Amino acid sequence: MTTTSPPAVRATDLHKSYGKGDTVVAALRGVSIEVPTGQMTAVMGPSGSGKSTLMHCLAGLDTFDGGGIDIGGTSLRGLGDKQLTALRRDRLGFIFQQYNLLPTLTAEENITLPLAIAGKKPDAAWMAQVIEAVGLSDRLQHRPAELSGGQQQRVACARALISRPDVVFADEPTGNLDSRSGAEVLRFLQHSSQEYGQTVVMVTHDPVAASYAERVVFLADGLLVDDMTEPTAEKVLDRMKKLDGLV
Amino acid sequence: MLRATLKSLLARKLRLMLASLAVLLGISFMSGALVLTDSLGRVFDNLFTSISSGTDVQVQGTSALGADAQAQPVPQAALDAVKKVDGVAEVVGDTGGEGGLVLPNGKLLKKTGPPVLGVSFNAGGLQESLRVKQGKAPVGLDQVAIDLTTARKQHLKIGEQVGITGTGPKRPATITGFVGFDTTNSIAGATLLAFDPPSAQQLFGHPGEYQSLSIAAKPGVTPQDLKQRINAVLPQGTKALTGQEAIDKDSKDLKQGLQFFTVFLVAFAFISVFVGAFLIFNTFAMLVAQRTRELALLRALGASRRQITRSVVLEALLVGVLSSVAGFLAGIGVAIGLRGLLNVIGIELPAGDTVIRTRTFVLCMLVGVGVTVLAALLPARRAARVAPVQAMRESGPAEERSLRRRTVVGGVIGLLGAALLATGLAGGSVSSVGIGAGIVFIGVVVLAPVFAGAVVRVLGAPFAALGVPGALGQANAMRSPRRTTSTAAALMIGLALVAAISTLGASAKKSVTAAVSTSLGADFIVHTEQFSPFSPSVTQALLTQKAFSDVAAFRAGEVKIGGQLTGVQGVNPAALQDVLQLDVLSGDLASLGTNSIALSKKQAKALKTKVGDSLKVTWPTTGEQPLTVGAVYDDNPFAGDYLVSDATYDANVRDKQLIVVALKTASGVSLDASRAAVETALQDYPNLKVQDQAEFVKSQASQIDFLLSIIYALLALSILIAILGIINTLALSVVERTRELGLLRAVGLQRRQLKRMIRVESVIIAVFGAFVGVVVGIGFGYALVSVLHDSGVTDFAVPYLRILVMLGIAALGGVLAAALPARRAAKMDVLAAVSST
């Protein structure tokens, strides 16, 4: 919204490697990035570029070796599992590629799950607004098995937003969907950023998906190699082709 | 295909471990029971052979009532006659009975379990198996030799003064020596008091009588020959057997006892194995569900349905064989351990081989492998039904199928069982009730998934109210009613049995209390610990006290009436009225004379007889005697079925000893004073117990409790296996739900909360199983009590407290069962879980 507010996410010189000794693989080799509040940012890169690792680190799902991460002013460095879990619960939202919902819960219960875990009541007005936006008003009492893939993913979107998190992390949210359902999900994410000022960080390898974002950052070989604003599918595809050539 | 099976078995050995453990535990119970009883059988065979080693011929008393009746004593005349037979080197009369030993500190030696036995000891006799190990043989009434084991345990010394009791008052005696057998110092932990034969006769109330005669033959005379010669001179009521025949007879009786014990133990082993079958079924069903894609791939690559079925069955076969062999071997260890334990708790047995019969191995393998394969058959068929196309589909946990067929099948089975149960109840047939109850139970287990949802919703409500982990745990427990039920079914079986037995026990206790308060009028009853016979001098001693309005002595014997072997009590009818609350329905009890008998209403009805009729009664020595029915009384457990006057009893039975003396306090004498009077009168009879009504009820109740606790202990293993089953299901569920758990952690569920969620699921499964089991069990208990009404279980009682404790234990079991799976789930790497496929 306003450019003066502090960044929702800030990573500084982030390092992360896997394995030991000879088999060590450096996944992140000094990535620095800032995501301003309210921005929808797409993270792109070829397989093995470190884009998923970056997101997992930013989201407190994985540990990092060097550098620092700030989420809405809280440094993740040195936080234990308990604090990280609480942070994810209270201040982050998640959308995964698949298997996003608990089969035993109804759509509504899935949406309010993070609040229920924290022992909080949903804000009724906000809840109605989010449900309206994802278009699930008539599906709330259904269980995931009774919903289509697109509907399930929209339930996941609503769940990610319900606690008004600092950041929503989406990991290939359209990877398993047909293009129409995928577009619905992406439009919703875009809408939430533009209308509610929701910060969104989305990892994707799909240039069309990336084009919904306000900004696209490119990763290759564990390094941030490009930063594009006002992306279009064509521009992103071109950039990716060049990156593929590099690797 | 074999290679694929072996590989998949190895890959999932951890997941099959609990199933194997269940089979192993059940089979080791079975193997242990068989090996232990076989070994004990061998030990007793050896013991009998060694005890009777010098006896070529034995003379025993017979009974006019037949071979099943108690043997009658052998008279002195028989011994005198045998002495004169050509070929007899030596003849000795053996006698004895339950005795008591007053230690030098003045206290009676108290023992639980093995008794104190008085025996006649023919020191140096050719046929005597007892040896003097230290000191000298006893001579006369004031000398005793004691077995070496007791001597050591009680720190007794030769020359020390002790008190001894037979059936009469306590007498002082000097310890002359310590005795033992060649192979052991005591028989199964019994304390032996050895006396010379005439003293033993006198002490145990059989002057001029023996339990048996042991005869050694002169060299060159075969036992068979000597037996014939002796039989020719024996008076009526006695017969001669060769030593070997006598051993075989004793050994056969004992073997029958052991046989019963074996069947009893093996029945519980079967229950454990049966409970284990549920665990195996669950394991294979869940593994097949998890491997749907793998199986579909095999099908797509051209494996036939038959090959798929065969590969799952083969897997079960391997698990069955391995765990049955391990269980068989573990059972041998258990048997050896238990024998060691018997020695430690004082049931000393001579060392002997551990007997491992082929039958033991064959039975263990048949049951272990059979149950494993049968339990895996259904999952194997389900595996074969996986369509090749499922290899290409998104694999999620299998969908729940409709429960309609199950409802019908379960309902039909349940109704059939209920019908059989009802027939059994109407006809008073215990076996129909038992089988009917079993079938009803199967029906309930089949139906359980149908009502599991509703029950779990209610049971889980308190947890769900406590927050998200509880609600999620409850939802998970309701997720697959079949899985929840087949996991809980194992616990259902165990708890249904425990609840049925404990309901029966509570009812029996209530019945005893009721019987005592409605049928017994005496203030005190006097008897020995084991209700063994004691001297009539006790009555005299009590009568000198003048504190009692009634001193009623009871003698108990065997007779045959209407072709049935039954008990009869000899009493003084005049003293009876106040010590028993006896309702005389017709005739007059006081008028019972020398040739009359009184009987209970039940028997009068059964024999279709009434006051004034003549009843043919067969006595052990005097044979058939017609007695006139003098009175019919209302059924009374203390009066029993038949009563005769002392005069009638004396006319037909030589034994004068008493079983019980019942006392009524005279008016104007306080109960305390009366009790003090009893104790004064009995101070020379340390082996006699005085109990008031409450104490009598309590001692009966504690015997019932003792039986119950043995059964609980035997059922404990099946309950343990049921809890293993819960661990198994949860562990496999955790694997199956890896991604779901990962998701929960990602959106903010703390480890602690995740653990709580799994714990709640576990507790709900356990309590569901326990709850259904207990409800069904109480029902069975009610059925058993109804059918046993005529056997004296007249009242029905539900042991609520005990049942609450059972449910509590089940819940605790659920908490414990969740520990490992929950830890595993909590340790799961969130990232790996979320991205696992």
Please state the rounded mean pLDDT for residues B328-342. 90
Question: Residue B374 falls within a domain, yes or no?
Answer: yes
Q: Which residues of A touch B744 (CB under 8 A)?
A: 102
Q: Amino acid letter at A243? A: L
Nearest CB to A85; choose among B468, B745, B831:
B745
- In sequence order, what are the beta bridge partners of B134? B178
Q: What is the pLDDT of residue A99?
A: 66
- Contact call for A56 and B468, based on CB within 8 A: no
Q: Which residues of A touch B745 (CB under 8 A)?
A: 85
Nearest CB to B753; choose among A61, A105, A117:
A117
Distance of CA A247 to the CA centre of its chain: 25
Q: pLDDT at residue B5 above 90?
A: no
- Contact call for A85 and B751, based on CB within 8 A: yes
- What is the H or E stretch that residue B495 is in? helix B481-519
- Contact call for B468 and A85, based on CB within 8 A: no
Answer for the pair B27, B364: CB distance below 8 angstroms, yes or no: yes
Tokens of B5: 């099976």
Verify that B47 and B66 share a domain, yes or no.
no
Q: pLDDT at residue B834 above 90?
A: no
Answer for the pair B734, B758: CB distance below 8 angstroms, yes or no: yes
Verify that B79 and B151 share a domain, yes or no.
yes
Q: What is the pLDDT of residue B324?
A: 96
| Pairing of the two strands B57-61 and B238-242 | antiparallel
Candidates A61, A89, A81, A18; CA nearest to B826 is A81
CA distance A43 to chain B (A): 18
Among B217-221, B345-349, B433-437, B818-822, the minimum mean pLDDT is found in B345-349
- Contact call for B749 and A117, based on CB within 8 A: yes
- Contact call for B740 and A103, based on CB within 8 A: yes
SS (H, E, C) B145-183: EEEHHHHHHCCCCCCCEEEEECCCCCEEEEEEEEEECCC
Using CA atoms, how far apart are residues B687 and B702, in angstroms rounded to an integer?
A: 20
Please state the rounded mean pLDDT for residues B471-499. 89
Q: What is the pLDDT of residue A175?
A: 83
ipTM: 0.84
Using CA atoms, how far apart are residues B214 and A171, in angstroms rounded to an integer?
A: 96
Q: Is A51 on the interface with B (CB under 8 A)?
A: no
Nearest CB to A117; choose among B479, B748, B834:
B748
Tokens of B398: 């299998």
Verify that B59 and B138 share a domain, yes or no.
yes
Q: Which residues of B touch A85 (CB under 8 A)?
A: 745, 748-751
Please state the rounded mean pLDDT for residues B381-406. 70
Verify that B116 and B181 share a domain, yes or no.
yes
DSSP B340-390: HHHHHTT-----------HHHHHHHHHHHHHHHHHHHHHHHHHHHT--GGG
Using CA atoms, how far apart are residues B687 and B533, in angstroms rounded to an integer?
A: 11
Q: What is the pLDDT of residue B287?
A: 85
Q: Which residues of B touch A113 (CB under 8 A)?
A: 468, 747
Please state the rounded mean pLDDT for residues B160-166. 92
- Contact call for A103 and B396, based on CB within 8 A: yes
Using CA atoms, how far apart are residues B602 and A102, in angstroms rounded to an integer?
A: 67
CA distance B255 to chain A (A): 59
Helix axes B430-464, B751-787, angle to 10 degrees: 150
Tokens of A99: 């298997």
Question: Residue B412 falls within a domain, yes or no?
Answer: no
Tokens of A70: 């700030």
Distance of CA B470 to the CA centre of its chain: 42
Tokens of B662: 């019942």
DSSP chain A: --TTSPEEEEEEEEEEEES-GGG-EEEEEEEEEEEETT-EEEEE--TTSSHHHHHHHHTTSS--SEEEEEETTEE-TT--HHHHHHHHHHHEEEE-SS--S-TTS-HHHHHTHHHHHHT----HHHHHHHHHHHT-GGGTT--GGGS-HHHHHHHHHHHHHHT--SEEEEESTTTTS-HHHHHHHHHHHHHHHHHH--EEEEE-S-HHHHTTSSEEEEEETTEEEEEEES--HHHHHHHHHHHHHH-
- Contact call for A90 and B748, based on CB within 8 A: yes
- In sequence order, what are the beta bridge partners of B217? B88
Q: pLDDT at residue B613 above 50?
A: yes
Angstrom distances, CA of residue B35 to CA of B42, B255, B356: 11, 14, 6
Verify that B798 and B835 share a domain, yes or no.
yes
For B741-754, b/e burial (b = at least 16 CB within 10 A) is bbbbbbbbbbbebb
Give the model confidence (pLDDT) of B222-268 as tens digits.
999 999 999 999 988 899 999 888 888 888 888 888 888 888 889 89
What are the counts of helices (DSSP H) followed by strands (DSSP E) for chain B?
24, 24
Alpha-helix runs per DSSP H in B618-692: 646-652, 671-681
Give the model confidence (pLDDT) of A148-162 as tens digits.
888 999 999 999 999
Verify that B64 and B128 share a domain, yes or no.
yes
Angstrom distances, CA of residue A122 to CA of A91, A105, B359: 14, 16, 68
Using CA atoms, how far apart are residues B185 and B175, in angstroms rounded to an integer?
A: 17
Distance of CA A112 to the CA centre of its chain: 18
- In sequence order, what are the beta bridge partners of B212? B60, B94
Give the model confidence (pLDDT) of B448-459 as tens digits.
888 988 888 898
Answer for the pair B406, B450: CB distance below 8 angstroms, yes or no: yes
Among A84-93, B124-133, B549-558, B710-719, the minimum mean pLDDT is found in B124-133
Domain C-terminal end among B213, B246, B279: B246
Q: Amino acid letter at B783? A: A
- Contact call for A61 and B834, based on CB within 8 A: yes
Q: Please report which confidence band the pLDDT of residue B773 belongs to, taking 50, 70 and 90 as the band edges.
A: very high
Using CA atoms, how far apart are residues A226 and A51, in angstroms rounded to an integer?
A: 13
Average pLDDT, chain B: 88
What residue spans define the domains of chain A?
A: 37-62+89-246
Residue with the bigger pLDDT between B248 and B836: it is B248
Interface test with B, best of A57, A96, A148 (most B CBs within 10 A): A96
Verify that B276 and B369 share a domain, yes or no.
yes
Question: Residue B178 falls within a domain, yes or no?
Answer: yes
Q: pLDDT at residue B735 above 90?
A: no
- In sequence order, what are the beta bridge partners of A219? A224
Q: Please report which confidence band the pLDDT of residue A247 belongs to, taking 50, 70 and 90 as the band edges.
A: very low
Nearest CB to B747; choose among A103, A104, A113:
A113
Question: Residue B346 falls within a domain, yes or no?
Answer: yes
Q: Please report which confidence band the pLDDT of residue B9 belongs to, taking 50, 70 and 90 as the band edges.
A: low
Taking CA atoms, what residue in A is nearest to B738? Answer: A99
Q: Amino acid letter at B489? A: A
Beta-carbon contacts of A146 under 8 Å, excluding residues fewer than 6 positions away, are none
Determine the 3-state secondary structure of B97 from DSSP. strand
- Contact call for A113 and B397, based on CB within 8 A: no
Angstrom distances, CA of residue B298 to CA of B223, B396, B417: 76, 18, 43
Domain C-terminal end among B684, B709, B730: B684
Q: What is the pLDDT of residue B395?
A: 47
Angstrom distances, CA of residue B589 to CA of B132, B196, B317, B515, B631: 54, 44, 70, 21, 6
Using CA atoms, how far apart are residues B96 and B828, in angstroms rounded to an integer?
A: 72
- Contact call for B831 and A118, based on CB within 8 A: no
Q: Please report which confidence band the pLDDT of residue B766 belongs to, taking 50, 70 and 90 as the band edges.
A: very high
Domain C-terminal end among B246, B264, B288: B246
Verify that B113 and B98 share a domain, yes or no.
yes
Torsion from C-alpha of A104, A109, A114, A119, nearest 10 degrees: -110
CA distance A42 to chain B (A): 20
Please state the rounded mean pLDDT for residues B12-27. 84
Verify that B241 and B292 share a domain, yes or no.
no
Angstrom distances, CA of residue A134 to CA of A173, A183, B193, B370: 14, 12, 94, 56
Q: Amino acid letter at A33? A: I
Question: Residue B403 falls within a domain, yes or no?
Answer: no
Q: Enumerate residues 173 to 192 of chain A having a beta carbon within 8 A of any beta carbon in chain B.
A: none
Please state the rounded mean pLDDT for residues B279-304. 83
Answer for the pair B295, B386: CB distance below 8 angstroms, yes or no: yes
> B755: domain range?
452-520+693-837
Taking CA atoms, what residue in A is nearest to B749? Answer: A117
Tokens of A11: 């990573």
Question: Residue B443 falls within a domain, yes or no?
Answer: no
Q: How many C-beta atoms surround the C-beta of residue B185 within 10 A?
A: 19
Question: Residue B406 falls within a domain, yes or no?
Answer: no
Domain count, chain B: 4
Verify that B66 and B214 share a domain, yes or no.
yes
Torsion from C-alpha of B250, B251, B255, B257, nearest 10 degrees: 30
Residues of chain B above pLDDT 70, percent = 97
Determine the 3-state secondary structure of B797 from DSSP. coil
Q: What is the pLDDT of residue A2?
A: 46
Please state the rounded mean pLDDT for residues A9-21. 88
Q: What is the pLDDT of residue B397?
A: 47
Angstrom distances, CA of residue B577 to CA of B522, B574, B584, B619: 10, 7, 9, 26
- Contact call for B743 and A96, based on CB within 8 A: yes
Q: What is the pLDDT of residue A1?
A: 45
Answer for the pair B361, B57: CB distance below 8 angstroms, yes or no: no
Candidates A228, A91, A100; CA nearest to A153 is A100
CATH superfamily of domain region A37-62+89-246:
P-loop containing nucleotide triphosphate hydrolases (3.40.50.300)
Question: Residue B705 falls within a domain, yes or no?
Answer: yes
- In sequence order, what are the beta bridge partners of B124? none
Please provide residue B141's backbone torsions phi and psi, each rounded to the nearest 5 degrees: -65, -25
The residue to which tokens 């206290």 are assigned: B107
- What is the H or E stretch that residue B722 is in? helix B693-736
Determine the 3-state secondary structure of B801 from DSSP. helix
Nearest CB to A94; choose among B467, B740, B746:
B746
Tokens of B749: 């569920």
